[in-house]
Structure 1
Amino acid sequence: MRTVLVGYGHAARNLHRAAIEESAVGRLVKDMVAVDPGCAVEDADLKVYPALGELPGVSRSDVFHVTAPPADHAPVVEEIVALGGRRIIVEKPLTTDAAAARRMAKVCADAGAELYPIGVWNFSSGVERVKRELDAGRRTLHYEFEQSKNRIGRTLSNPSHSSSFEVELPHQVLAAIWLFGDIVDVLHAESRPLRHVGREVPHAGGAYVVVRHRSGLIGTLVGHLDKERRTRRLRVVCADGDLEVALPRSRDETSSFFKDSAGRVVDIPDRPLTECLVSAYTAGPAESQARFNVDTHVHCIDVLEAARRKAGVP
């Protein structure tokens, strides 16, 4: 089995590659290469090709990780399929618009290619603990989900994400759909610019979105990209008390902290990205359908498009 990292930036080098090498999947991978026309640094132990067309011997057993900028996901996946690739993992968001996502899904389905969109919180032990509580019949009144961090340097130096709606919010929307069901309306959305030492990037400082689910439940999603401290926290307000989970904030953190309605805190081992990638390499069809549901990711993009329109983001 060969792993091909398409787009060898931060996500591929520091997240996907590390997760594979540290997991049981690493023993299955016989070779790992990357494809990136703009890669300035080539690791001593990893070959980087400038284009997919220069990748030798593409086979059905190759596993492609598409970690290029979101706007490039659809054409990259189509090229992989045309070259013979049949196992494709795609970073969030699946694409930047729903029409492209639907076309991507059709191209893969027509070719018999397996498409694995990344949704890390579907594989989080902390989120799963919340889901078990909700599935047991807890009456939910509202929820608040914040994912914030200091992304100032990367935003100013790398234009790969055009707004704050492409960074943390895709994770949050996917988790909200996984926990609370389909989102039927975006009630409010706003963004703000990133301002730093005389420079300004429109819509890149953060976003605030209020959604309504098919059940009538209303939730708030917040993602700041210029905060001094990283936060990943979900609070669910229930009729009989709140549930709260503080999720891992980086690859170095391997636990979630779940607080139940009585205030008891439980430390839960949690490595969501690693579990997500291991599942993509090893899962059977039933788990793949549930955890990597392409329709859910297309629905997520529909929600993000509606939020961008409401916030006036191009």
Structure 2
Amino acid sequence: MHSPAVRAEVLREVAALGFSRILMEKPLAGDLETLRRVLRLAREQELRLAVVAPWLHSTLTRRLVQLVGSRRLGAVRSVSVTQHKPRFRRTLSTGSHTSAFDVEAPHAVGLLLRLLGDAQLSGARCADLRVGTTTVPNMGGAHLELLHTGGIRSAVLSDLSAPVRQRRIVLGMADGSVVGHYAVGQDDDFAQLEITRDGHTTREVFRDDSLTACLTHAYRGYAEGGDGAGAGDLGLHVRTVELLDEAKRLADLSPAGGTHPHKEALSYGR
């Protein structure tokens, strides 16, 4: 798997070979400059891009969107996503990523944008990965906070040095709470959903092969003559890169470094 920093170069090589319908690994790019090159290539070469983002096509995500939209438990007050994943061997051996914000966080940010709408970054920090005397900068974990346009606050906590895997989302609602557990590996593709109301909790376990659903969605879009993802989906991935780029820059600032500079907005097709 190549680094997000070289997405544009790889895309250029693939386009030169005559391919036009392309599945991209998440995130769409590792920074704003790479994102600009990717989108420019897509326009110039008339490429149809789709991003492999299983969480957006998960059955659990669909259930959460329905719950929020129905207001069955009232308005959403807060949302947190926890992504714990021990990632020592790959970080120490491949060096394919240079920031924890590019590993698990793209799943969560895309999910939060789908669930709660657009957002602005309100906080971010990153941790180094330490193993014995070895330190890998910015690859131990990432934390970011978002303020969505509707006033709802959300948070993402990704720990790449955790002893166990966990992919969990918690929604605090006006009349209860919701806890969703995404499948943590390909060996057991089941999700869980817990809904608490009036002190009573119901729990469901169901099959959730989100990767297959994601690929099916992309290939069906291509087969029907579309772009494989839809402009809305690609726009969401663009926004995810913008927020993660800002998070990386904010995390690099010292406490006395001042405010984070405004980032020029990007949109697919510009």
Letter in 2 for 1:294: L
Residue aligning to 1:252: 187
2:95 is matched with which residue? Answer: 159
Distance (whole Å) between structure 1 residues aligned to residue 191 and residue 66 of structure 2: 15
Q: Is the 8 A contact 1:244 1:259 kept in 2?
A: yes
> 2 CA distance for matches of 1:202 and 1:68?
19
Among 13, 17, 32, the alignment partner of 1:79 is 13
- Superposition deviation, residue 290 in structure 1: 6.3
Determine whether 1:307 maps to 2:242: no
Tell me the CA shift for residue 111 of structure 1: 2.5
1:117 corresponds to which residue? Answer: 51
1:240 Cα deviation (Å)?
0.6
Report deviation, 1:259: 0.8
Q: What displacement does 1:70 show?
A: 1.1
Of 105-114 and 160-169, more deviation after overlay is shown by 105-114
CA contact (8 A) 1:105 1:294 kept: no
Which residue matches 2:265? Answer: none
Deviations 1:8-28 (A, max 9, x none): xxxxxxxxxxxxxxxxxxxxx
Partner of 2:30: 96
Matched residue, 2:138: 203
Q: Which AA in structure 2 matches 1:140?
A: V
SS state at 1:273 partner: helix
Q: Name the residue aligned to 1:274.
A: 212
- Report the CA distance between 1:287 and its aligned residue: 7.4
State the structure with bigger RCO (CA 8 A, min sep 6), 1 or 2.
2
Deviation at 1:310, TM superposition (A): 1.3
Equivalent position amino acid for 1:173 in 2: V
1:243 equivalent to 2:178? Answer: yes
Q: Deviations over 1:80-136 (max 9, x none)?
A: 112211110000111111232233123223322210012211110011111100111
The separation in 1 between residues aligned to 2:33 and 2:80, in whole angstroms, is 29
- Tell me the SS of whatever aligns to 2:188: coil
- Contact 1:233/1:244 (<8 A) preserved: yes
Tell me if the contact between 1:81 and 1:108 (Cα under 8 Å) persists in the aligned partners: no
The count of corresponding residues between Structure 1 and Structure 2 is: 246
1:279 counterpart letter in structure 2? H
Q: Is the 8 A contact 2:49 2:227 kept in 1?
A: no
Matches within 5 A, 1:95-244: 95-137=29-71, 138-184=74-120, 186-244=121-179
C-alpha RMSD of the superposition: 1.8
Aligned to 2:230: 289
Q: TM-score, normalised by structure 1?
A: 0.75
User: Is there any run of 5+ residues in structure 2 with no aligned partner, and where?
Assistant: 254-270
C-alpha distance in structure 2 between counterparts of 1:72 and 1:135, whole Å: 38
Q: CA deviation at 1:160?
A: 0.6
Unmatched runs of 5 consecutive residues or more in structure 1: 1-66
Distance in 2, Cα, partners of 1:308 & 1:96: 10
